[in-house]
Amino acid sequence: MEQQNAGVLMDIDPQIAETIVANIKGVIQHEINLFDTSGTIIASTDKTRVGTAHDGARLAVTSKQTVSIDNDRQFEGAKRGINVPVLFNGSVIAVIGITGERAEVEPFGNVIKKMTEILIRENLEQITRFDQRMMTANLINMLTLRQYDAGFVHYLASALNIDLAQRRRAVVGRFVGAGSAISATDSLHAIFLTRCAPLRNSMFSVTAKEACLFVSDDDADGLTDFLRTVQDDISKAFHRQMSFGIGRLADTADTYCNSYDEACRTVDWLLFSQQKSISEYDDLDYGMFVSSVPEEDARRFVSHVFEGLDDHDIDDFQTTFDAYTRHNGSIIHAAEDLFLHKNTLQNRLNKIARMTGYNPRILQDYSVLDTAFKLRSYLAFRKT
C-alpha cells in the first residue's frame, strides 16, 4: 500500500500538484513546495526549484516527523523553513515545505499538513473514480463485441466487483437530430452516475455519441420510467432529446453482444421513424425487419426495384407513394394532400407502375414498393 500511494503521487499530473500548492499559497503568504517521497520538488510557488532535491524533505519522509531548518546550509538544497510529512493510511506520501523564518512558519505546520492531506486524498479519490470509469467503459466495450479477450474481461469485472453471471439486457441511448454528438461527456456521465446509483447490479458508460447500459434483470422493474427520468435530466442539462432502445434479456456475458445489437437497431429505428423515444426490441414492427436486412442485400433489393431510375425520379415517386399510403389508397384524399387533381395523381401512380414494373394499386406489388422505399430511406438515414 505504501509503495502504491507514493507511486500515485509521484505520477500526479503537474497541473494537479500546482493546484494543491496554489490552494495552500492562498492561505499563507509564504513560499510553498510539494515534494514526492524521494525528496524531489514536484510543484512550487518558486518555479526555479521544481525538480531539485532536498535532504530535509527526505528526512521528513523517513522520520515521519516535521523537520525544521534554521539556515540555508543545514541540509543540501534546503532553505529556511519547515518540512511537514503528509500521511495517507499511515504512510508518508508527500512532504509539504514552507519557506521562511522558523518562528513565523511553525504555527502553520499542522494546519497546512491537514489541508494538504485533504487535497491529496481528494485527488487520489478522483483518480480512483476516473480509473473505475475507464475500466467500466473498457469492460462494456469488450462485452459488446462477438469476440473478446476473456481473460481481460474477467480481470476488469473482478477489479470492478461486477458479477458477469448476472442476466442483463442492453440499453443504448442516442441523441435526436443533427449534430448528435456532444462535448460535455462528464456532465452526461454525472447524470447517469446519479440515476444509476440505485441499480446495484448494472453498469453503464457514455461517449460523445451514445450511452450504453447493461441492466441486470434484478434492476429491470420500472426500466421505462427510469429511462424517462434520465431523458428529463438530459433535456434540462443539454436542451437535447435522447432516445433509448432496449435489447432482449441475455442469459450470459457471451450473449450480451446480441442484446447490444438489438438495442442499437431499436434506437436507430426510433431515430429514423420518429414515432416514439423509448422502445424494446420486441415491440418493433416493420423496424425489426428493416433494421435486420444486411446493408449489401438492402442495396441490391433497392437497385432491383428502381433499376434505371435516378434519385430525383425515385424521390418524386416516394412523395406520391407516401401520400397514397397515408390515405389508405384513397385517390381523392391523397390528391388533396398533394394539391393535385385526382387524374394527375392517377397518372403518377401509373408512371410508378410503368417505370418500375410494380403497380402500387396491386397489393403484392404495393408490398414490394413499400419495402423498397423504406429500405432506401433507412439506408440514407444510416449514412448520416
Domain ranges of the chain: 2-123, 163-290, 295-383
- Pick 2-123's CATH classification: 3.30.450.40, 3.30.70.270, 1.25.40.10, 3.20.20.120: 3.30.450.40
The reported pLDDT for the residue numbered 378 is: 96
Q: What is the mean pLDDT of residues 24-38?
A: 87
Q: How far is residue 62's CA from residue 354's CA, in Å, rounded to a whole number?
A: 92
Q: How far is residue 331's CA from residue 344's CA, in Å, rounded to a whole number?
A: 10
The reported pLDDT for the residue numbered 2 is: 34
- The winner for highest mean pLDDT among 3-17, 104-118, 169-183, 230-244 is 230-244
Looking at 5-14, 47-56, 292-301, which range is the least confident one? 5-14
Confidence band of 184 (pLDDT split at 50, 70, 90): confident
- Pick 163-290's CATH classification: 3.30.70.270, 3.90.380.10, 3.20.19.10, 3.40.140.10: 3.30.70.270
CATH no., domain 295-383: 1.10.10.2840
Strands (E), the chain: 31-35, 41-44, 67-69, 81-88, 91-99, 168-175, 203-206, 210-216, 242-246, 278-280
The reported pLDDT for the residue numbered 180 is: 64
Does pLDDT of 12 surpass 70?
no
More confident residue, 283 or 54: 283
Tell me if domain 2-123 and domain 295-383 are identical in fold: no
With a pLDDT cut of 70, the percent of the chain lying above it is 94
Does pLDDT of 107 surpass 60?
yes
pTM as predicted: 0.75
Q: What is the mean pLDDT of residues 266-288?
A: 94
Q: Mean pLDDT of all residues in the chain?
A: 90
The residues pairing with 243 across neighbouring beta strands, listed in sequence order, are 174
- 213 alpha-carbon distance from chain centroid: 10
